[in-house]
Chain A
């Protein structure tokens, strides 16, 4: 028995590189590949859920997709929402981190407060935001009006719905970016700063020529981390607007959900999901390139 165990142990040792990752990969494979394979198959079929079997139609779904106005709208909304929210989160996160990047009493409290939105359940806080943003009874308009500003329609107007949703996303995720960047700032080397100060550089110059290049890999990594979820944001939009008013906040991802599950056209819906996946994938590959380049500088 002991010998047997020894043999196993030696086998594991010799094949560590194979044996250690194997269970995780097999598990993910089983969980992911079968459904994704099924999904890919459906993308090339026409199938109304419940009515007969999926019928293979080649690339027809992908051809239809190009003539579908709501696909175009979905991509636009996705770019608008993600572009705006990711850039605000990044810039605001960086600025706030710079603000708090110093020794002060209460830095612990700030850290504690900033962890809350990160941990909060999206569906639950999105519901709270939904009543806060209500133009008739919401507290947001009350706050605006009490400081003399006109109220807004927030998510109830096609013009303001995306900025309003971005506000929620920014509220939820900027603190996380701040905390990441703050930790990143603390780990920066001191030497370049001293050299710059000796050369008489001002604060802005130091930020632009030293801090920003040094912190860029952290920023890009944080951006990647966020974009994984942000590009297929579901909980917040689904809970607050379900894509409305009209289709003004219907991202491609939400549209694919609607087609698949509200309109029960699983074939076409699957094709849309494939497109969403490709967009996320391409974005991350590009970002990864940028990150590697940023580190090479």
Chain B
């Protein structure tokens, strides 16, 4: 009888894990295929049936770095995403704090509306403005444009974190003689450091992945990786092997990064969803 129950349990858990593996296959497969594509030659990539087993080549990676100067683009992306995230935190933290503390829901909505605007409509005017300010092909211009995505994101994520800070703590600080600014910097911010990490990570990822603004406003000095991956499309030909290698180089750093901080990301996304 006991064995029977154990068998049922074993059967059930086998069933569960089979299902779990099945549910994890699709996300994994595309990544595997991306990596394989980057390890094949051009001919192998247009062969049918597609090859799963082949002798891999690192030639594409060599080309990506030597011919296409990919390292520079990776650095550009790193700088722009870092700057956009930093500025978003600098501007977004006080704003989110105020919105949470003083229940300025309208301001919150207003900020969200910025994210609803069709991004395509920015391209023409922004180019004209940045040209006028002589900022084309600068980190400044790219950072500013990425703010439109990252700043509302930081603010909206942080509102819920600030709301969870008990008001009593601040009152106590005030009695101890802290100014409002001091209590914000010394008491409140350390309490929401999880939230800051979370929103920094998410905003970094979205900035890293931004394509459209970078396409138009970047130049040879500031081209970011999502734009650079398009370099493998040429006259009458798509270099799938190069794309595979480049895509792996773009996706892997940010995915590995996300992997290590997944707890924060999930928390951030959930806070955003759970808040009222």
Of the stretches B59-67, B189-197, B240-248, the one at the interface is: B240-248
Asked if A208 lies at the interface with its beta carbon under 8 angstroms from chain B, I say no
Whether A179 pairs with B98 at a CB distance below 8 angstroms is: no
Of the stretches A63-71, A81-89, A121-129, A191-199, the one at the interface is: A121-129
Q: How far is the CB of A83 from chain B (nearest CB, A)?
A: 18
Whether A123 pairs with B230 at a CB distance below 8 angstroms is: yes
Q: Which residues of A contact B9 (CB under 8 A)?
A: none
Asked if B58 lies at the interface with its beta carbon under 8 angstroms from chain A, I say no
Report A1-39 CB contacts with B as 1/0, cut-off 8 Å. Answer: 000000001101100110111011101100110111011
Whether A221 pairs with B275 at a CB distance below 8 angstroms is: yes
Q: Which residues of B contact A128 (CB under 8 A)?
A: 30, 33-34, 37, 243-244, 247
Given the known interface contacts A25-B95, A124-B246, the answer about A117 and B125 at a Cβ–Cβ threshold of 8 Å is no
Given the known interface contacts A129-B30, A217-B276, the answer about A16 and B254 at a Cβ–Cβ threshold of 8 Å is no
Whether B181 pairs with A221 at a CB distance below 8 angstroms is: no
Whether A256 pairs with B120 at a CB distance below 8 angstroms is: yes
Whether A112 pairs with B262 at a CB distance below 8 angstroms is: yes
Complex Cα spacing A19 to B97, Å = 11
Q: How far is the CB of A17 from chain B (nearest CB, A)?
A: 4
Whether A256 pairs with B118 at a CB distance below 8 angstroms is: yes
Interface of A is mostly: helix
Asked if A148 lies at the interface with its beta carbon under 8 angstroms from chain B, I say no
Report A118-158 CB contacts with B as 1/0, cut-off 8 Å. Answer: 11111111011101100011110010000000000000000
Whether A132 pairs with B30 at a CB distance below 8 angstroms is: yes
Whether A16 pairs with B27 at a CB distance below 8 angstroms is: no
Asked if B54 lies at the interface with its beta carbon under 8 angstroms from chain A, I say no
A20, A171, A221: the one contacting B30 at CB < 8 Å is A171
A36, A117, A142: the one contacting B121 at CB < 8 Å is A36
Interface size class of A (residues with CB under 8 A): 35 or more
Whether A28 pairs with B117 at a CB distance below 8 angstroms is: no
Q: Which residues of A contact B118 (CB under 8 A)?
A: 232, 253, 256, 273, 276-277, 280
User: From B47, which residue of chain A is reached at the shortest CB distance?
Assistant: A137
Whether B121 pairs with A39 at a CB distance below 8 angstroms is: yes
Given the known interface contacts A137-B46, A281-B113, the answer about A117 and B148 at a Cβ–Cβ threshold of 8 Å is no
Whether B179 pairs with A139 at a CB distance below 8 angstroms is: no
Asked if B39 lies at the interface with its beta carbon under 8 angstroms from chain A, I say no
Whether B272 pairs with A118 at a CB distance below 8 angstroms is: no
Asked if B1 lies at the interface with its beta carbon under 8 angstroms from chain A, I say no
B120, B225, B259: the one contacting A273 at CB < 8 Å is B120
Whether A171 pairs with B50 at a CB distance below 8 angstroms is: no
Complex Cα spacing A106 to B30, Å = 21
Complex Cα spacing A205 to B257, Å = 40
- Tell me the residues in window 99-129 of chain A with beta carbons closer than 8 Å to chain B beta carbons: 99-100, 104, 106, 109-125, 127-129
Complex Cα spacing A110 to B16, Å = 13
Q: How far is the CB of A269 from chain B (nearest CB, A)?
A: 8
Q: How far is the CB of A176 from chain B (nearest CB, A)?
A: 6
- Tell me the residues in window 247-276 of chain B with beta carbons closer than 8 Å to chain A beta carbons: 247, 250-251, 254-255, 257-259, 262, 265-267, 269-270, 272-276
Q: How far is the CB of A224 from chain B (nearest CB, A)?
A: 9
Asked if B219 lies at the interface with its beta carbon under 8 angstroms from chain A, I say no
Report B83-110 CB contacts with A as 1/0, cut-off 8 Å. Answer: 0000000111011011101101001001
Whether A28 pairs with B148 at a CB distance below 8 angstroms is: yes
Q: How far is the CB of B30 from chain A (nearest CB, A)?
A: 6
User: From A137, which residue of chain B is reached at the shortest CB distance?
Assistant: B48
Complex Cα spacing A38 to B13, Å = 60
Whether B226 pairs with A123 at a CB distance below 8 angstroms is: yes
Whether B111 pairs with A28 at a CB distance below 8 angstroms is: yes
Given the known interface contacts A21-B98, A24-B155, A180-B270, the answer about A121 and B208 at a Cβ–Cβ threshold of 8 Å is yes
User: From B243, which residue of chain A is reached at the shortest CB distance?
Assistant: A127
Given the known interface contacts A25-B107, A27-B151, A128-B30, the answer about A142 and B50 at a Cβ–Cβ threshold of 8 Å is yes
Complex Cα spacing A138 to B30, Å = 12
The contact sample of 19 A-B pairs, CB cut-off 8 A, is A10-B179, A19-B94, A24-B95, A38-B125, A104-B20, A109-B24, A112-B262, A116-B31, A117-B30, A127-B229, A128-B33, A176-B269, A179-B269, A180-B270, A180-B273, A183-B266, A221-B273, A234-B119, A260-B120
5 shortest interchain CB distances as A-B pairs = A20-B98, A119-B258, A24-B95, A20-B94, A13-B180
Give 7 A-B pairs besides A128-B247, A228-B115 with Cβ atoms closer than 8 angstroms: A17-B102, A25-B110, A36-B117, A99-B23, A121-B229, A171-B26, A176-B269
- Interface residues, chain B, CB within 8 Å of chain A? 13, 16-17, 19-20, 23-24, 26-28, 30-31, 33-34, 37, 45-50, 90-92, 94-95, 97-99, 101-102, 104, 107, 110-126, 129, 144-145, 147-148, 151-152, 155, 179-181, 205, 208-209, 211-212, 225-226, 229-230, 238, 240, 243-244, 246-247, 250-251, 254-255, 257-259, 262, 265-267, 269-270, 272-276
